[in-house]
Structure 1
């Protein structure tokens, strides 16, 4: 469990082949409701390519549990060694090789931070090769809901060009890091002075947060092509 209501799942393909994906993409898990109606849910890939299982062999996702949810029942009832049917990868919420910006503003809430975990190896390469800076603003209600927080803090400790800024709306940690903030991510975005000359921003998670930050970034002068969005809506 990553949080009281979020599980981390690791899969491998039945055929033993790696899942070739671009960090930021998602898969769709296919299943049926109790009445036999086919449905599906989308999950961003959390996989870091240098996983211990080998390059690309693991397929990692974070699953939010929704009370009474059909997908929640599927995953909660899945034993070790259990199977799911999935398709993909899909999506274009990815770092673009042609980008020439000097800084990335990565903004997320809840499981919307999942694609940023998968991007860490790519960001590490670009920090070394292009000298980019990265700010990750991550909104959570409490420290217990800070998904993959240890991964992001460790990465920030190794790379001074990467700042990890957790924003807690309800409860602060007992001994907060200097980069911890209280409130919502959109309240702290201005602190980092979004700049159309240097920045590309990514927004992923709660639709209200995405909309608020999108408007704030536009007001700061960022053109729409420099703001990349993906909204997460929990569905049963």
Structure 2
């Protein structure tokens, strides 16, 4: 079951940067020569979708970066507008897309996170009853929300359940308090929201930047805010002419998230957008083992390194367990190229090309 598109838009294709193939691979030296190319071409595959840019309250482009507008002890009262399961029946867990009404009271930039304070209390280590602590979630919409009015925000939440084999398979031994609260919420449910927080995952201001985005599971959330800004909304001050490449790791095809949006963008912008999946229960890597995210990135190690050498930004979001494999792969590639890994990585960090938010 594919995920649904949450609001109609028009996807308009920008002309391919000169000298780049449709998969924008193998030609990184051409990137700097394409900075000013912004032509738009209508694409028949997207003709059924309505335009969105004219609906945007563009005054939101002038908003300064906000951090911790709403704090744990004084959260913003919000209401859930909708909760939708966005994975198929054979997914290895349940993930929901949750739209929350904020009434423009908690403005944010793409790449930031919100906190949710679940209702109820707990007993702390001192035996005192206290409110539950805040849980952080990457924001899965642009500043305009799924309805382009700035009145809502969206979260991508996996329901956390923990099983005890001795208890049998029918009931989980433990449920994540906040994720289950959000996934079970009905429209109108009150939510206590904090934030926004975070600067690590922000988008560069240059609309001709190359993005390499690596995600596992709900780590896709900030990238959804990226691709909707790049390809769906295209505000006048950010008409994206760069390149975007998503590496996405999930267990199987039913666990893909927002794949309908991704396929629409690929059809409309084939020269600017690419998606490569690592499906650990359906694909094998070159060594015959399960295909994990680091294995998929390694398949394109030469192109990834060349793009980084030419100024690309690389993002990682998802389970922290993916990073050791990613780092080991990059160390091996550096060794093959006669590079010192730590020095190479520090160079990327000093140029603000390296963005990591894992949990």
**TM-score interval, smaller chain:** 0.7 to 0.9
Deviation of residue 217 (structure 1)? 4.1
Deviation of residue 34 (structure 1)? 4.5
Question: Are 2:245 and 1:135 equivalent residues in the alignment?
Answer: yes
Deviation of residue 113 (structure 1)? 0.5
Alignment of 1:80-99 (within 5 A): 80-92=187-199, 93-97=201-205
Question: Are 2:358 and 1:231 equivalent residues in the alignment?
Answer: yes
Please give the per-residue CA displacement for 1:145-201, whole angstroms capped at 9, x wherever unaligned.
Answer: 1111111121122111100111101036xxxxxxxxx71121021333222322221
Change (3 A) 1:100 1:17: closer
1:188 aligned partner: 296
Q: CA RMSD in A?
A: 2.6
Question: Are 2:130 and 1:22 equivalent residues in the alignment?
Answer: no
Structure 1 stretches of 4+ with a deviation exceeding 6 A read none
Contact 2:145 2:152 in 1 (8 A): yes
Alignment of 1:137-152 (within 5 A): 137-152=247-262
Change (3 A) 1:122 1:210: farther
Deviation of residue 212 (structure 1)? 2.5
TM-score by length of 1: 0.81
TM-score by length of 2: 0.55
Q: Secondary structure at the match of 1:96?
A: coil
Question: Are 2:130 and 1:37 equivalent residues in the alignment?
Answer: yes
Q: Which runs of 5+ in 2 are unaligned?
A: 1-84, 88-92, 124-128, 162-174, 284-289, 335-343
Alignment of 1:191-202 (within 5 A): 191-192=299-300, 193=302, 194=304, 195=306, 196-198=308-310, 199-202=312-315
Change (3 A) 1:51 1:42: closer
Q: What is the total number of aligned residue pairs between the two structures? A: 219
Q: Flag the structure with larger Rg.
A: 2
1:213 to 326, 332, 339: 326
1:8 aligned partner: 97
Contact 1:207 1:231 in 2 (8 A): yes
Q: In proportion to residue count, which structure has more strand?
A: 1
Change (3 A) 1:19 1:214: farther
Contact 2:214 2:315 in 1 (8 A): yes
Return the alpha-carbon distance in structure 2 between the equivalents of residues 215 and 227 of structure 1. Answer: 16
Q: Which runs of 5+ in 1 are unaligned?
A: 173-181
Contact 2:146 2:153 in 1 (8 A): no
Change (3 A) 1:119 1:136: same
Question: Are 2:141 and 1:47 equivalent residues in the alignment?
Answer: yes
